[in-house]
Structure 1
Amino acid sequence: MNPNPDLQLLEAAHPHIAKAIKLLWGHHQVHTYIARLFDDSRDNQRKGFSPEVMAALLNIQELHEKPADYEPTTWGDSRQFFR
């Protein structure tokens, strides 16, 4: 199985964010974490994400929101994401 390209991009650009998402994967907190990444809590001092990273984060969030029965098994999908 191929690794998830969105996660690969995130690991290369922001490894600490990718690590946190891996730890939170499968829990509702992943949505809160990703949503907080989009908020500027530093008085406009944040550089922001590149369009590619923004797209990857949104894709990862969408993947997490999909119902478990859209694939033959939840485990198969999770293994593909984290390989």
Structure 2
Amino acid sequence: MAQNAQIETLVFVPDGLLRNLPMGVLYDGNQYLIEKDYAIAVAPRLTLFRPEAPTSQLQVLAGGVSLAQTVQGRQFPPIAQLQEEL
């Protein structure tokens, strides 16, 4: 496999028995794939979908700790800038 400077990550979606093969051990005659400068990702399946905008308004309940708390002997400090984070 020729190195391409624009490619950083190789994603494999193996099927059948290929799922048992660690992709990093693929060998091109000179180097193992794991030795090359690529990140290797393995996905269990390839799913293509068209993202759609939500059809209704989403509602979120967000909260945070604005005062230091002790719960079951563990101390939790207040979250700095809580109002801005929420």
For Structure 1 versus Structure 2, the TM-score category normalised by the shorter chain is: under 0.3
Larger proportion of helix? 1
Which is higher, the Rg of structure 1 or of structure 2? 2
| Greater RCO structure (CA 8 Å; 6+ sep) | 1
TM-score, normalising length: structure 1: 0.25
